[in-house]
Amino acid sequence: MSRTVQDVVFVDGVRTPFGKAGSALAETRADDLVVKVFREILRRNPNLPAERIDDVAVAATTQVGDQGMTLGRTASLLAGLPFTVPGYAIDRMCAGAMTAVTTLSSGIMAGAYDIALAGGVESMSRHPMGDGMDPNPRFLSERLVDTDALVMGATAENLHDRYPQLTKDRADAFAHASQMKTAKAYAEGWIQPDLVPIATRSQELGWGMLSQDESMRPETTLAGLAGLKTPFRAHGRVTAGNSSGLNDGATAALLASEAMADDLGLTKKMRMVGFAFAGVEPEFMGVGPVPSTEKALSRAGLSIDDIGLFEVNEAFAVQVLALLDHFGIPDDDPRVNPMGGAIAVGHPLASSGIRLMTYLAKDFERHPEVRYGITTMCIGLGMGGTVIWENLQTTGSRA
């Protein structure tokens, strides 16, 4: 029996505002954050009968407690999806939500699914990075990886060492720009439509409401960034100001075959062109997006010159700069993270891949003349992930 490969479209994406670890969302269960974004996806897409969803995948990096127990299934049940909708959990560290999207999309491409729901969540308040982990001692005793591989900030310092042209001044300037672009996007109302306000509770402060990202610092100055401490190395270059923070938050994305989206009258914001994951030395984790982007472009028959918009996760400013330098893209290129990024809004680990996609869909809406864009990120233990998307919100002019 012959089968036709189905095109995959990104229908919609939403997220919670990202809270600072230990702050507004610290007493909110991670699975409840997923429930909120799932319910919002269904509310925003009334043409979708919930029973038509073929599968659900939810990512978390630390899969214990309220981030364990097969999140894709438990969150679906808690969100009110029918018992007939299955689900599962995914872990690829920071690229969890990205992998949820690519895995489900592979099923759609193969004809196994028509509609799927992807998500990602991380409560770094309730589950600090490394919570419950037990790394095999052979990693270090047999020198399979450098000790720095398990400390993300140390891997960022290593990138500065390997590429001395990636100076602290450049990293601080990029970080400052991220804060300024985020503030501008908020002021112009581009980010808020895809945020799901979250009721917060605190034993000390009572009830509240989180309706915007907590980590934003629009008052940031270059002078202030220059004076911050370098916690990962004496006289280093990586600071709290040119890195993403520790955060809580959840994301969700609705995916469909293009034919099913047309049948149900669902919005088609962008079409998946292809994706790739790649590995690098774990102690130089941040350079991972370089080979994954090269691989994705090669498989798609595209070059970097075909890409009109870039959403690059800002785990560390130096990691983004390494990608830009490799491809000859200026630090301040307006195509890169036009609404800012994780340095300003936060990086709740496994949730961030879908945040990038939601931003790219908005970028495409703002730039209908652009045909192709990418979402890319570095991944702990030495990996990179890249997804190439085609703009379906075009005016007919392609660039």
Residues noted as catalytic: 94, 347, 378
DSSP label at residue 261: H
Residues 6+ apart with CB under 8 A from 30: 60, 65, 66, 67, 121, 122, 123, 126, 127, 248, 250
Cα–Cα distance, 169 to 177 (Å, whole number): 12
Question: Which CA distances in Å does 188 have to 18, 183, 339, 378?
Answer: 19, 9, 10, 29
Instruction: Compute how many other C-beta atoms are within 10 angstroms of the C-beta atom of residue 332.
Output: 10
Q: Between vectors from CA 45 to CA 44 and to CA 51, what angle results, nearest 5°?
A: 130
Residue 184's CB: how many other CB atoms inside 10 A? 14
- CB 9: neighbour CB atoms within 10 A? 26
Q: Rounded distance, CA 232 to CA 49, Å?
A: 50
Residue 96, SS3 per DSSP: helix
